[in-house]
Structure 1
């Protein structure tokens, strides 16, 4: 027992060290957002802020167009996540439950698209959006983010559906359920982990995307928060306090989204276990 206990202790220490390494930049960002401007640029590494101010948040929220950029980011991200999950789920069911000609070739094509660097598609995407008069419109970003997240969602959900025996649906249909009812009552609750993983991946990918938002929104009216972050840089320097405050606010929707889907996932699994 002693060697096993020592192993657990060392693993716990290693986990704490890794957690500190990953959390320290977040702590430094949040603490810098409430430091006075002079303290942020000082050479002293003050782990605990010597002063406290909310002026940087006032600059971001009251003296800039932060709320407009936030609205744009929320619209394009949530719509892209919804389309990616819904269409990916339907396509995954078709690829997993039905046999049709070209199915394997389609799956291979999805994998190739997932491996392709999307930066290489920037010029074709720009030309397509220009020719269809979608430049400077939110649907352009929604379409791009949907295309970016769709292959991963389809591939992941297909593997989840393959892991659920089709006999469960057949047993439900024997008991009187239709095909859709069998899917909704039997298969769909078991896909909770896959749906959460895909939605979180799609949300983070669309929320943090910078290049397409910069190129497809040249006028700036529909640009998103990653573009807004660079607005505090000028020829006179960088307003680090406002940048850190914006970064802190930029992080909150991702944390809130994960907390919401995680809570729903736990409640859904528990309810399914009780009803089963």
Structure 2
């Protein structure tokens, strides 16, 4: 009997498994890239439309058919806002409040996170639960109590009132994130400094804080964004235009009989710039800090 031929015909090609796998990976990458492009366009088009509308006349914004790019390019909306001392004051107030909240939140959160991460003390678990609980409370439920408290303390319509109120909502997140970040740093670093005769504060500020810069930056950016974009408490706890912030200033452009849409879009663009600058310059710290702070070693 003759043995069955097991040779492969010359006109039949067999693709190696590695080539097939590489082809599937390429197709997967192409699919992911297409999905990301579509998602970016979907998320970015409103921002582009806002930018385009800020260069239009107020009557042109609702023109039909709409024009994505105006033929009558104008900076009138920006010059009107930047030339009005009242509107400029909105930005000054937002910078003062947001930067103060960010700085104070980081200072308090660094000390608190260091204590939670490095020390065991009575009531530690209870304090941790309180911090998490405060973070979980919907801010709107505290609106009326905070209003009454600020009036009683004579902090209504002041920077101090807004700063202290915002810190109630920014501190829990900052403490939780920085505690998680400090937990990833070995305690041997502290012990090595203490062996040399230095104290706990020296170990914190000269060793741990420089190493924890990514986590601190990410928490700082998040805190700044919360304070910069907050609307409800800024509306409730301020009364005069010289204390209003940018989100309230945008709302005030809605008149009784007409809306200044181009000025609203221009102020929104100007309000986006600080956050965009922070994210562009500190993007690598922001992503790295969030990732490291979310993992407990």
Q: Same fold (TM over 0.5)?
A: yes
2:82 counterpart (61, 65, 72): 61
Where in structure 2 are the equivalents of 1:42-121 lying within 5 Å? 42-63=63-84, 65-121=86-142
CA deviation after TM superposition for structure 1 residue 132, in Å? 1.0
CA deviation after TM superposition for structure 1 residue 117, in Å? 0.8
1:38 counterpart (59, 74, 78): 59
Correspondence for 2:15? none
Give the 3 Å change call, closer, same or farther, for CA 170–250 of structure 1 in structure 2: same
Provide, for residues 181-230 of structure 1, a one-character-per-residue CA deviation record: whole Å limited to 9, x for no partner.
33334322331221122111111111011111111112333111111101
Correspondence for 1:200? 221
Give the 3 Å change call, closer, same or farther, for CA 135–31 of structure 1 in structure 2: same
Give the 3 Å change call, closer, same or farther, for CA 265–232 of structure 1 in structure 2: closer
Correspondence for 2:36? 15
Question: Secondary structure of the residue that 2:81 maps to in structure 1?
Answer: helix
Structure 1 gap segments, 5+ residues each: 267-276
CA contact (8 A) 1:57 1:245 kept: yes
Correspondence for 1:274? none
CA RMSD of aligned residues (A): 1.9
TM-score with structure 1 length normalisation?
0.90
CA deviation after TM superposition for structure 1 residue 137, in Å? 0.9
Correspondence for 1:133? 154
2:253 counterpart (232, 235, 241): 232
Task: Pick which of 194-203 and 175-184 moved more.
Answer: 175-184
**Using the alignment, how far apart are the partners of 2:284 and 2:28 within structure 1?**
32
Task: Give the total of aligned pairs.
Answer: 266
Structure 2 gap segments, 5+ residues each: 1-21, 288-297
Rg larger for: 2
Looking at secondary structure, tell me which structure has more helix per residue.
Answer: 1
Provide, for residues 23-45 of structure 1, a one-character-per-residue CA deviation record: whole Å limited to 9, x for no partner.
11111111110022232121223
2:187 counterpart of 1:166: yes
Task: Pick which of 136-145 and 18-27 moved more.
Answer: 18-27
2:268 counterpart of 1:247: yes
**Using the alignment, how far apart are the partners of 1:144 and 1:116 within structure 2?**
14
